[in-house]
Amino acid sequence: MIPTSFPPKDEIARLTARALLEVEAVHFNSREPFTLASGLPSPTYIDCRKLISFPRIRSTLMDFLAVTVMREAGFEAFDNVAGGETAGIPFGAMIAERLVLPMTYVRKKPKGYGRNARIEGVMTEGQRVLLVEDMTTDGGSKLSFVDAIRETGATCAHTGVIFSYGIFPEITKTLGDHGVQLHALCTWWDVLAEAKAQGHFDAETLAGVQEFLNDPRAWQAARKG
């Protein structure tokens, strides 16, 4: 069933943040920072992959993402939904089901044998493709997936995610220069607000996270190495 009527964007953001906290996908630790894939430190870490194990929450969030994409991009804006390997594959499948569209997925790199394909499933020239992922930090990781989609002759001007960091201003330029618009349900600011409202984490931890969110690059520069 295609969802068409849901709460306004700010309420969707609050409820998404609440869901992420409820399943303990959110981790805060300013005393012993996490190391991100970039090698940089962070007092925050999020694991959206956990959501696939919670049927009621994953169903609600996929409804939220489907309606957000339709509101912001259009009801008839897409012909195909592509999940990015690996975390985006289950969410891509669920969004494709809701939008009643073909589903494909994009490999991070050619598989190295057989057809040496990056696109699995059927994607054809001229199709308008929605790229679905679990999350994004600064948007850079999406560009390779978008390029692989476009190499088929299809177009990709939109990507939908459950979570966006929302603290790196360059994301809009990074994706915009590549002709891609981001659609996200919530950011770290939404999670921090809901964590405070729900009493998650202690005051010192929340203050440390807020310091990071206010100026992440300076926070990382002061602690790396």
- List pLDDT tens digits, range 100-140: 999 999 999 887 676 678 999 999 999 999 999 999 988 88
Is 199 annotated to bind a ligand? Reply is: no
Residue 174 annotated in ligand binding? no
- pLDDT for 138: 83
- The answer to whether the annotation marks 108 as part of a ligand binding site is yes
111 is in an annotated binding site: yes
Residue 137 labelled as part of a binding site? yes
Instruction: Give the model's pLDDT for residue 40.
Output: 82
Banded model confidence at residue 223, pLDDT cuts 50, 70, 90: confident
What token pair was written down for 109? Answer: 């790199």
Residue 135 marked ligand-binding: yes
Tell whether 190 is in a known binding site: no
- 175: pLDDT strictly greater than 90: yes
Quick check: 193 pLDDT over 70? Answer: yes
> Cβ(182)–Cβ(169) under 8 Å?
no
Q: Give the pLDDT score at 191.
A: 98
CATH code assigned to 9-218: 3.40.50.2020
Q: Which of 18, 6, 13, 4 is nearest to 198 (CA)?
A: 18
Say what the pLDDT of residue 38 is. Answer: 74
60 or 30, which is more confident?
Answer: 60
Report whether 138 belongs to an annotated binding site: yes
Q: Is 173 annotated as a binding residue?
A: no
Query: How many Cβ atoms from other residues are within 10 Å of residue 126's Cβ?
Result: 9
Q: Which two tokens stand for residue 19?
A: 């869901």
Strand order in the sheet with 103-106: 119-120, 103-106, 80-84, 128-136, 155-164, 181-186
77 pLDDT more than 70: yes
Q: What is the mean pLDDT of the chain?
A: 93
What residue ranges in the chain does DSSP mark as E strands?
Answer: 26-28, 34-35, 41-42, 44-46, 80-84, 103-106, 119-120, 128-136, 155-164, 181-186
Mean pLDDT of 41-61: 96
